[in-house]
């Protein structure tokens, strides 16, 4: 390859989490933009809002709101890179063009993108930090749920650090080494410390609190400056 050469890249469908950006534009709710450049933006998702629609004409999800935001300002499209559970709040990375989507999806696969969380879990953890290594698979009796050593289980690794405790719960900082569906919720329930407000995995849930899980940070390579 020499200076002045023209390189053509062909983007394949499997390079994308969502190959075509066809989200219905929805401007009924403003989005909380934490960071934005020419290629991407980081948005703070509220709990109780789905990350993405499940059908082509569905609206009222975060990706619909991001599409509405971009359509009003730059006529760009939103490409999903990763998800948060509907009940989870926090930072979500969204690509603004096909090339950025492919690169960010690749960074997510090779774990260049780092995702950190904070959660309040029930009870007092005995150690100051730890790692949970328990495979997660499908629950054969409930399609929405996941379970340790479930059907088609995959390796799952969660690192945690204790921040503080109160009378009956603990605040922990969490980093994911893998990204399985409901990973944090399943792992902490499995070690006897389910997340406060978890209606799916906390058997003591009584409806008096939201899910106390928040995506506090997302670390990535800045595509424009090649900096983290």
Q: Is 32 a catalytic residue?
A: no
Residues shown for the chain:
228
- CA-CA distances (angstroms) from residue 45 to 65, 134, 192, 203? 10, 28, 28, 26
Rounded Cα distance, 195 and 121, in Å: 4
Q: What's the rounded Cα separation, in Å, for the pair 93 and 222?
A: 12
Which of the residues 15, 26, 59, 85 is marked catalytic?
A: 85
147 backbone φψ class: left, alpha, beta (φ>0; ψ -120 to 50): beta
What is the Cα gyration radius of the chain? 19
- Residue 188 in contact with residue 81, Cβ under 8 Å? no
Question: Where does the chain show beta strands of DSSP type E?
Answer: 32-36, 40-45, 79-80, 89-95, 114-122, 129-133, 136-138, 146-148, 151-154, 157-165, 169-176, 213-219
DSSP assignment, residue 13? G
Which residues participate in catalysis according to the annotation? Answer: 85
């Amino acid at each position: 390859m020499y200076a002045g050469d023209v390189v053509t890249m062909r983007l394949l469908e499997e390079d994308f989490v969502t190959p075509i950006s066809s989200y219905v534009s929805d401007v009924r709710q403003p989005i909380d933009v934490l960071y934005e450049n020419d290629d991407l933006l980081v948005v703070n998702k509220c709990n109780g809002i789905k990350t993405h629609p499940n059908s082509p004409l569905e609206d009222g999800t975060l990706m619909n709101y991001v599409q509405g935001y971009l359509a009003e300002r730059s006529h760009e499209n939103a490409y999903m890179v990763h998800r948060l559970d509907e009940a989870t709040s926090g930072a979500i990375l969204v690509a603004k063009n096909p090339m950025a989507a492919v690169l960010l999806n690749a960074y997510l696969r090779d774990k260049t993108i780092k995702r950190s969380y904070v959660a309040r879990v029930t009870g007092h953890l005995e150690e100051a930090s730890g790692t949970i290594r328990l495979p997660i698979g499908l629950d054969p009796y409930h399609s929405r749920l996941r379970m340790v050593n479930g059907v088609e289980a995959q390796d799952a690794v969660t690192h945690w650090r204790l921040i503080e405790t109160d009378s009956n719960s603990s605040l922990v900082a969490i980093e994911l080494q893998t990204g399985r569906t409901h990973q944090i919720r399943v792992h902490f329930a499995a070690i006897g410390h389910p997340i406060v407000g978890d209606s799916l995995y906390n058997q003591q849930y009584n409806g008096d609190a939201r899910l106390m899980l928040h995506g506090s940070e997302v670390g990535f390579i800045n595509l424009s400056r090649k900096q983290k």
